[in-house]
Amino acid sequence: MQRLGLSPADNGSMNVSVLIPTRARADKLEACIKALSEQDWLPGDEVLVGLDGPDPTSESRARSAFHSGVCSLRVIERPREGYIALRSALLPELKGDALISMNDDVVPGAGFIREHRLACESGGDSAAFVGHSPFAPIESPTVIDRLVSETSWVFFYDTMLGVSDRAHDFGFRHLFGLNFSARLDTIRRAGGFTEMPNIYGYDDIELGHRLTSNGLSIRFLREAYASHDHRMTAEQLLSREHALGVSACHYATSCPEFSHDVFGQDILDTGYLKQNAEQIETDFEPCESLAQEFLSFSEQQSTPEPIDALFERFRPLKKHRWRQGLIAEAARLGLVSTRAA
């Protein structure tokens, strides 16, 4: 791709800082960095790769793949604490006017940086922008692959693509950390990323919650396309729901307003915990039967049911695994015995 070769002084453009946390995924990081090298950069732009613990292979591959003569690349190693804590720790290191948050397994398409830059320039302090990062196409997709890519099991692009109004506010639940941008000072004023070591999930939408509480809208920037190279197995999808249940317990403690707005109630309330513990027992057999069927779709490439109908049928299993994570973590923290009868 031909670079613009413009400086901020030439066109008044703001500088961008791209933040990418990573751990032990050198191949994916290399593809991401290589594609970033071909973007429309301005002097003063930067890419900051954060290593979650020692990772010399990823660092070497990232440096070798980055060949922009305009944008700078920095690689910073931190103690291993998980990607959420890593993003939080590296936020003060950023030097740009706007932040572009990326995962190491997304591959940006042509114009990715340009679209985010222009959006942040025009949106000012009024909006954050979520780019389009669908799961990468698979040559022979299974039913599980289709559930991931065509429904809202993980992300909500399937519904977002149906909204044509570019100024539509999708709300905090749609701020996805793998591909979003906002002015850096706006993010810092909102308190930055959550500091939550070794926890998975909710960090991006929790930031979105604080941003929207400060009056920002969350807009869909479909032109900022970056393919998401992350094939998920049926086992990983179920494990993810359990991990989100664990995380929900921690967010309910540390970010109660956010938690209440996400779940519509205090999920650490005695009655709620008791109700969910009882529901796990009630649903155990039917949900385990659903789980076996769900896992069987890992090898199947067709189903007589429409994929949306299949998604609805497996929703109880999705909720069941989340409940199991919540109750297990509440018990580990002593919340079930002290707050639930």
- Pair 206, 245 in one domain: no
Q: SS3 of 225, please?
A: strand
| Structure-block tokens of residue 78 | 């931190």
- Residue 147: inside a domain: no
Number of structural domains (the chain) is 2
Residues 256 and 294 in one domain: yes
* Domain-embedded: residue 3: no
Q: What pLDDT was estimated at residue 124?
A: 86
179-183 and 127-132 beta bridge pairing: antiparallel
Given a contact cutoff of 8 angstroms between Cβ atoms, the answer to whether 64 and 44 are in contact is: no
In this prediction, residue 339 has a pLDDT band, given cuts at 50, 70 and 90, of: very low
Rounded distance between C-alpha atoms, residue 201 and residue 204, angstroms: 8
Grade residue 337 by pLDDT with cuts at 50, 70 and 90: low
Q: Enter the tokens of residue 333.
A: 């923290």
On whether both 217 and 101 belong to a single domain, the answer is: yes
Give the end of a domain, one of 207, 228, 249. Answer: 228
Place of tokens 């804590």: 85
217 lies in the same domain as 241: no
Shared-domain flag, residues 100 and 173: yes
DSSP code at position 93: G
pLDDT score of 56: 97
pLDDT in tens, 78-125: 999 999 999 999 999 999 999 999 999 999 999 999 999 999 999 988
Average pLDDT of the segment spanning 265-271? 95
Please tell me whether residues 94 and 197 are part of one structural domain.
yes
- Report the DSSP pairing between strands 16-22 and 98-102: parallel
The secondary structure of 156-199 as a DSSP string is: -HHHHTT---TT----GGG--TTEEEEEHHHHHHTT-S---TT-
Instruction: Kindly report the CATH number assigned to the domain that includes residue 201.
Output: 3.90.550.10
State residue 208 phi and psi, 5-degree precision.
-60, -35
Among residues 168, 194, 228, the one where a domain terminates is 228
Given a cut of 90, whether residue 32 has pLDDT beyond it is: yes
Non-local CB neighbours of 148 within 8 Å, separated by 6+ positions: 135, 154, 232, 237
Choose one of 210, 228, 246: the last residue of a domain: 228
> Is 22 found in the same domain as 120?
yes
pLDDT in tens, 37-90: 999 999 999 999 999 999 999 999 999 999 998 999 999 999 999 999 999 999
241 is in which domain, residue-wise? 234-339
Are 75 and 160 part of one and the same domain?
A: yes
Name the token pair of 327: 């109750």
Residue 341 above 50 pLDDT?
Answer: no
39 within some domain: yes
pLDDT band for position 335 (cuts 50, 70, 90): confident
Same domain, 267 and 329: yes
Nearest Cα neighbor of 82 from 47, 51, 103 is 51
Look at residue 148 and tell me if it is in a domain: no
Q: Which amino acid is at 50?
A: G
Q: Note whether 186 and 314 are same-domain residues.
A: no
Please indicate, yes or no, if residue 149 is contained in any of the structural domains: no
Please tell me whether residues 219 and 297 are part of one structural domain. no
Report pLDDT for 1.
Answer: 31
